[in-house]
Chain A
C-alpha cells in the first residue's frame, strides 16, 4: 500500500537558518503530494501541495518539488522564523473508492530558536 517516510525530529534551528525536511513516498499510480503544518493546540493546515511530477508547491516562503524519479517531496525554506515552530506532515493522496484517501507521515517537529 501507499506509505510516506519523513525524517524524524525534532529539528532545531536558529532563526534565519535554512530548513530542509526530507520526505519520500511509495505509491501506486500518480498521487498528489502535500505538506501540512500543525501549530500547538491546533489541527492540521495545508501548507502547500503539488499534483503532478515536477510541480513546485510554495507558500509562506516554503517550497517543495514533486520528484517522481526519486519519489521525494522535500520541504525547504531559505530563512526560518520562530513563528515557523510547529510539526510538519508530509502526505500523499489517492482517489480511491470515490473519496480522497490521504496517507500521512509521522510528522517532523521543528523548533526555531531566536
Chain B
C-alpha cells in the first residue's frame, strides 16, 4: 500500500473546462510532487512542494496551477487545456530530511486525463 491516493482516477474534459486533480498522502511526509507521464517519454517533473512551499516549477504552462494547502494535500488546477496535455498525472510524496539525505518517493495510482 503506497499511502498516496489520487482522485479522480479518470477525467475527460473539454478545452474550455476547469477541473482539479486531488492528491492526498497518509504517510506523514513533508514533500509532494506532480509528474506528467506521457507515452514513450520519461516522467516529467512538474511541481515540487517542500514544507508546503513550492520549490520547483519546471517551466510548466500557466494553464496548470498547483496548490498545497497543507503537507497532506496537493491539488493541480486545470484550465484551458490542450489535447497534448492528455496524459497520466502522478502525484508522489517523500520525507525530505534536513540533513540532505535522500529518501524514496511514494506514488499514487495517477489520474488518466483526456482532453478533447
Contact residues of A with B, CB < 8 Å?
4, 32, 34, 36, 41-46, 49, 51, 89, 93-95, 97-107
Asked if A98 and B102 sit within 8 Å, CB to CB, the answer is no
Asked if B101 and A95 sit within 8 Å, CB to CB, the answer is yes
Asked if B71 is at the interface of the complex by the 8 Å CB criterion, the answer is no
Cross-interface CB contact of A100 among B40, B103, B109, cutoff 8 Å: B103
Asked if B102 and A95 sit within 8 Å, CB to CB, the answer is yes
- Which of B48, B100, B104, B106 has the largest number of chain A CB atoms within 10 A? B104
Asked if A43 and B4 sit within 8 Å, CB to CB, the answer is yes
Please classify how large the interface on chain B is, using the bins under 10, 10 to 19, 20 to 34, 35 or more.
20 to 34
CB closest residue in chain B, given A44: B107
Residues of chain B within 8 A (CB-CB) of A45 are: 2, 107
What is the predominant secondary structure among interface residues of chain A facing chain B? strand
Chain B 85-116 near chain A by CB (<8 Å), digits 1 or 0:
00000101010100011111111111000000
What are 22 A-B interface contacts by the 8 Å CB criterion? Answer: A36-B107, A43-B108, A43-B109, A44-B43, A44-B90, A44-B92, A46-B105, A49-B104, A51-B102, A94-B102, A95-B96, A97-B55, A97-B56, A98-B50, A99-B31, A100-B94, A100-B102, A100-B103, A100-B105, A101-B48, A102-B105, A106-B42
In the A-B complex, list the 3 residue pairs whose CB atoms are closest, starting with the nearest.
Answer: A43-B107, A104-B43, A44-B107
